[in-house]
Amino acid sequence: ETGVTQTPRHLVMGMTNKKSLKCEQHLGHNAMYWYKQSAKKPLELMFVYSLEERVENNSVPSRFSPECPNSSHLFLHLHTLQPEDSALYLCASSLRLDLSYNEQFFGPGTRLTVL
């Protein structure tokens, strides 16, 4: 499946580093999402964008900074992360923001390790 791509697939960074995760969707969707998936925890929604505007921010620490320059691209800028931020970061997209009748398409994720 190549509808939603994410780079890099794996990332190891120190607590003082700055890095960015990239997500691109080739499905013509209007909504994009960032999720965090940690071991033994449910998928946690971090950010929601609809037509490049942020519509949801689930009390995410400011060390995570999203950017959506257009409806096909979504970034997650990382700085001064903590070891507990190590997780799989998943990007997803949906045709429309209203998920009552729309499914989400997930990317393969970026496995992040913070040392």
Partner 1 sequence: GQQVMQIPQYQHVQEGEDFTTYCNSSTTLSNIQWYKQRPGGHPVFLIQLVKSGEVKKQKRLTFQFGEAKKNSSLHITATQTTDVGTYFCGETSYDKVIFGPGTSLSVIP
Q: Interface residues with partner 1 (CB under 8 A)?
A: 31, 40-43, 45, 48, 50, 55-56, 90, 92, 97-101, 103-109
Q: How far is the CB of 48 from partner 1 (least distance, A)?
A: 5
Is 84 exposed, middle or buried, given 0-12, 13-18 or 19+ CB atoms closer than 10 A?
Answer: exposed
Residue 18 or 54: the one with the smaller Cβ distance to partner 1 is 54
Cβ closest to partner 1, residue 58 vs residue 82: 58
Least spacing, CB of residue 79 vs partner 1, in Å = 25
The answer to whether 89 and 36 have CB atoms below 8 angstroms apart is: yes
Residues β-bridged to residue 99: none
- Going by the DSSP 8-state scheme, the letter that residue 16 receives in this structure is T
- 50 phi, psi to nearest 5 deg: -130, 120
Q: How far is the CB of 45 from partner 1 (least distance, A)?
A: 5
What single-letter amino acid sits at 68?
C
Name the minimum Å distance from CB 93 to partner 1: 12
Give the residue with the Cβ less far from partner 1, 31 or 81: 31
What does the radius of gyration of the chain's CA atoms come to, in whole angstroms?
13
